[in-house]
């Protein structure tokens, strides 16, 4: 059965808009969107999702320009770019009651830790989105494929509350599941993101170009191995064969450009710290030698920083 | 005493034009320039060198469009970009007599080997140029500083002929010297070129930006260490302290852009194989682990290849 949770969505980019719209439209849930630049357009024109699973439009969206207007919620979906985490310190407090859950759908490592430090670890959950989305205009989201959402507790195995959120997403048409160890899942996702998002920037190469170039292909595998080794040292066991699986599942993607590559090419901020910086720092603290990750971080940090 | 050597200069870029012009003007030597795109301009307007050591102009330059017009010479200075080595197979034969020496002033590794394979190892010498030059227009060279030329035999220590060439350059106002082991000197030069030329492309960073960026600075030192280790494995001993010396001598260069970075930014061919590819292949054959050099090569090869 679905919950009666009141949801807030912070961040109206592709991820927040898509999952929020699915909850509201597909599941009939009570969803409130906190927006900034898209607020006017969405109040006027609603939210549109174009998808091969079927287009839909929400004419009247609960969209707000401040968290105070939304007030306390049961679940806050956090879908801001990790480069904007500072904003959350101001935005989240009005959304909290005693048991409010903070579910970060953000990329990479360090986001749960940040929320835990600022609002208490017991509130924090995380979700990993495996989805191809693009925000083509304010309030207009294109959904190219997939959509799996893996949700877990920051600390410990899934609880009743985890299962209820998963069920809400499933009722809304999202292929959601609960995961036993969220941070292990984050490392598994990084095994793909570190090389492919990284070489999208450092080599200006899309997924297919990385796979077809002998040297970049080998480099991608070596970056995956470094990531798996670092994860292992940190207590997250990922089998070595996982690297080969990631290569195999990348071929059907064709000339796919990761969100980081698109951000970089559009001159937008790149999530340097959550995707490369924080994994590197954790690997270094665990005394793992990750020369290629270290180099990738140095290059991307320089390339993506406006001078 | 100066020799009566007849010199040919193949390649009328900054390096060939500068050292050829010094030999002709400063030393009064018999120098013949083989040119392609600049031929008309130089025949008409001569060669101009603008230098803090004093400007000079050669009004009547022995400039030719074909090697056959030049005929056999005693010394052929080879100053083509290494990416154009294929051309040499046609260009050099008309310049040869029985004892013609081939002195390559080209960058990186593999050029002496290529000449030896094609024309016999006994003919081959190499020179390393430590000089800041820019060809600002056809026949117009700007000389910013330095100019040291280290000349050695491809095989073995300096011979009488080596000393005669060195003397010709010295008489022409060039700070030339003979080196005991040419290939060791090439590796020493690579200790600088591999990181700084490389990060000029891969990180879009000039010398000063590399030095001032904490992560790139550390990366440059690690690339130097890999280069020194590879050289050592190949029998070319370079002390570990050499890396620190290279960092120290780079600070006064300011925001210097290497020739590779300029080539890359201008959309010209980059000498990928001689500066990174061949050192990597030699390191790999010597079972030396050079993950950063390997990664740098993969990135630069992709970035510098027109797609």
Q: CA A112 to CA B245: how far, in whole Å?
A: 44
Burial class (CB within 10 angstroms; exposed 0-12, middle 13-18, buried 19+) of B249: exposed
Of B204, B218, B298, the CB nearest to A215: B298
Domain(s) of CATH 1.10.1040.10: residues in chain B = 184-304
> pLDDT class for A147, splitting at 50, 70, 90?
confident
Q: What is the pLDDT of residue A2?
A: 63
Tokens of A264: 């970089």
Of B203, B209, B218, the CB nearest to A299: B203
Closest listed residue to residue B198, CA positions, set B268, B295, B305: B295
Of B219, B294, B298, the CB nearest to A298: B219
Domain(s) of CATH 3.40.50.720: residues in chain B = 6-180
ipTM: 0.90
With a CB cutoff of 8 Å and minimum separation 6, the contacts of B54 are none
- Nearest 5 degrees, angle CA B58-CA B59-CA B61? 75
Which position has the token pair 């004419």?
A59
Predicted confidence (pLDDT) at residue A55 exceeds the cutoff of 60: yes
| Cβ-Cβ contacts under 8 Å, A295 against chain B | 219, 291-292, 295-296
Q: What is the pLDDT averaged over residues A9-15?
A: 92
Helix (H) or strand (E) run with residue A90 in it: helix A85-91
Instruction: Locate the chain A residue with the closest alpha carbon to B226.
Output: A291
For residue A267, the distance in angstroms to the closest alpha carbon of chain B comes to: 15
Q: CA B70 to CA A92: how far, in whole Å?
A: 80
Contact B108, B193 (CB under 8 A): yes
For residue B293, the distance in angstroms to the closest alpha carbon of chain A comes to: 10
Q: What is the pLDDT averaged over residues A94-102?
A: 98
For residue A205, the distance in angstroms to the closest alpha carbon of chain B comes to: 8
With a CB cutoff of 8 Å and minimum separation 6, the contacts of A98 are none
| Cβ-Cβ contacts under 8 Å, B294 against chain A | 215, 219
Beta bridge partners of B130: B148
Check residue A177 and report its DSSP letter.
Answer: E
- Per-position b or e across A263-301, b if 16+ CB within 10 A of its CB: bbeeeeebbbbbbbbbbbebbeeeebebbbbbbbbbbbb
For residue A223, the distance in angstroms to the closest alpha carbon of chain B comes to: 10
Q: CA A37 to CA B269: how far, in whole Å?
A: 44
Q: What is the pLDDT of residue A146?
A: 79
Q: Tens digits of per-residue pLDDT, B108-120?
A: 999 999 999 999 9
Contact B112, B182 (CB under 8 A): yes
CATH class, A6-180 region: alpha beta
Residue B284 CB neighbour total at 10 angstroms: 14
* Cα A11 from chain centroid (whole Å): 12
Q: What is the pLDDT of residue A124?
A: 98
Q: Tens digits of per-residue pLDDT, B243-284?
A: 999 999 999 989 989 989 999 999 999 999 999 999 999 999
CATH of the domain spanning B184-304, picked from 1.10.1040.10, 3.10.450.50, 1.10.10.10, 3.30.300.340 = 1.10.1040.10
Beta bridge partners of B43: none
Q: What is the pLDDT of residue B161?
A: 98
Q: CA A6 to CA A263: how far, in whole Å?
A: 32
Q: What is the pLDDT averaged over residues A272-298?
A: 98
Find which of B208, B224, B229, B295 to mutate to test the A interface (most A CBs within 10 Å of its CB).
B295
Asked if B134 reaches chain A (Cβ–Cβ under 8 Å), the answer is: no
> pLDDT class for B175, splitting at 50, 70, 90?
very high
> pLDDT class for B307, splitting at 50, 70, 90?
low
Q: What is the pLDDT averaged over residues B27-45?
A: 95
Cα–Cα separations (whole angstroms), residue A109 to A84, A92, A259: 14, 20, 16
Helix (H) or strand (E) run with residue A124 in it: strand A124-137
Q: What is the pLDDT averaged over residues A229-237?
A: 98
Asked if B292 reaches chain A (Cβ–Cβ under 8 Å), the answer is: yes
Predicted confidence (pLDDT) at residue A307 exceeds the cutoff of 60: no
Contact B182, B125 (CB under 8 A): yes
Check residue A35 and report its DSSP letter.
Answer: -
Q: Tens digits of per-residue pLDDT, B204-231?
A: 999 999 999 999 999 999 999 999 999 9
| Helix and strand element counts for chain A (H, E) | 15, 10
Q: What is the pLDDT of residue B144?
A: 86
Tokens of A22: 């699915």
Predicted confidence (pLDDT) at residue B203 exceeds the cutoff of 70: yes
Q: CA A269 to CA A84: how far, in whole Å?
A: 9
Residue B96 CB neighbour total at 10 angstroms: 19
Tokens of A72: 């306390």
Q: CA B100 to CA B77: how far, in whole Å?
A: 11
| Claim: this prediction has a pTM higher than 0.80 | yes
Asked if B205 reaches chain A (Cβ–Cβ under 8 Å), the answer is: yes
Beta bridge partners of B178: B151
Asked if A209 reaches chain B (Cβ–Cβ under 8 Å), the answer is: yes
Residue of B60, B98, B189, B302 with catalytic role = B189
SS3 labels along chain B: CCCCCEEEEECCCHHHHHHHHHHHHHHCCEEEEECCCCHHHHHHHCEEEEECCCCEEECCCCEECCHHHHCCCCEEEECCCHHHHHHHHHHCHHHCCCCCEEEECCCCCCHHHHHHHHHCHHHEEEEEEEEEEEEEECCEEEEEEEEEEEEEECCCCCCHHHHHHHHHHHHCCCCEEECCCHHHHHHHHHHHHHHHHHHHHHCCCCHHHHHHCHHHHHHHHHHHHHHHHHHHHCCCCCCCHHHHHHHHHHHHHCCCCCHHHHHHHCCCCCCHHHHHHHHHHHHHHCCCCCHHHHHHHHHHHHHHCCC
> pLDDT class for B306, splitting at 50, 70, 90?
low
Q: What is the pLDDT averaged over residues A151-180?
A: 97
Contact A172, A23 (CB under 8 A): yes
Q: CA A33 to CA A21: how far, in whole Å?
A: 9
Instruction: Locate the chain A residue with the closest alpha carbon to B222.
Output: A291
What is the total residue count of chain B? Answer: 307
Q: What is the pLDDT of residue A224?
A: 98
Q: What is the pLDDT of residue B2?
A: 62
């Amino acid at each position: 059965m679905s919950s009666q949770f009141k949801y807030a969505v912070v961040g109206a980019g592709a991820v927040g808009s898509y999952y929020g719209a699915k909850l509201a439209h597909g599941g009939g849930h009570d969803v409130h969107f906190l927006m900034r630049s898209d607020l006017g357009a969405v109040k006027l024109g609603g939210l549109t999702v174009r998808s091969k699973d079927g287009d839909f439009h929400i004419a009247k969206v609960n969209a707000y320009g401040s968290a105070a207007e939304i007030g306390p919620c049961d679940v806050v979906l956090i879908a801001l770019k990790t480069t904007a985490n500072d904003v959350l310190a101001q935005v989240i407090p009005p959304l909290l009651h005693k048991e409010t859950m903070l579910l970060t759908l953000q990329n990479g490592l360090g986001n749960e830790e940040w929320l835990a430090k600022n609002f208490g670890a017991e509130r924090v959950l995380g979700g990993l989105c495996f989805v191809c989305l693009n925000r083509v205009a304010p309030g207009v989201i294109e959904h190219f494929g997939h959509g799996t959402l893996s949700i877990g507790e920051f600390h410990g195995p899934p609880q009743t509350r985890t299962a209820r959120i998963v069920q809400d997403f499933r009722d809304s048409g999202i292929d959601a599941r609960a995961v036993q160890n969220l941070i292990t899942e984050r490392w598994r996702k990084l095994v793909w993101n570190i090389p492919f998002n990284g070489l999208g920037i450092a080599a200006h190469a899309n997924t297919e170009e990385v796979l077809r170039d002998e040297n970049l292909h080998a480099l991608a595998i070596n970056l995956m191995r470094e990531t798996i080794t670092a994860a292992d040292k940190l207590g997250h066991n990922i089998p070595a064969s996982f690297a080969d699986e990631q290569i195999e599942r990348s071929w059907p993607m064709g000339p796919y450009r990761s969100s980081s590559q698109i951000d970089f090419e559009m001159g937008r901020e790149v999530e340097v710290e959550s995707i490369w910086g924080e994994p590197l720092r954790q690997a270094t603290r665990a005394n793992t030698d990750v020369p290629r990750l270290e180099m990738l971080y140095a290059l991307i940090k320089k390339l993506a920083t406006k001078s």
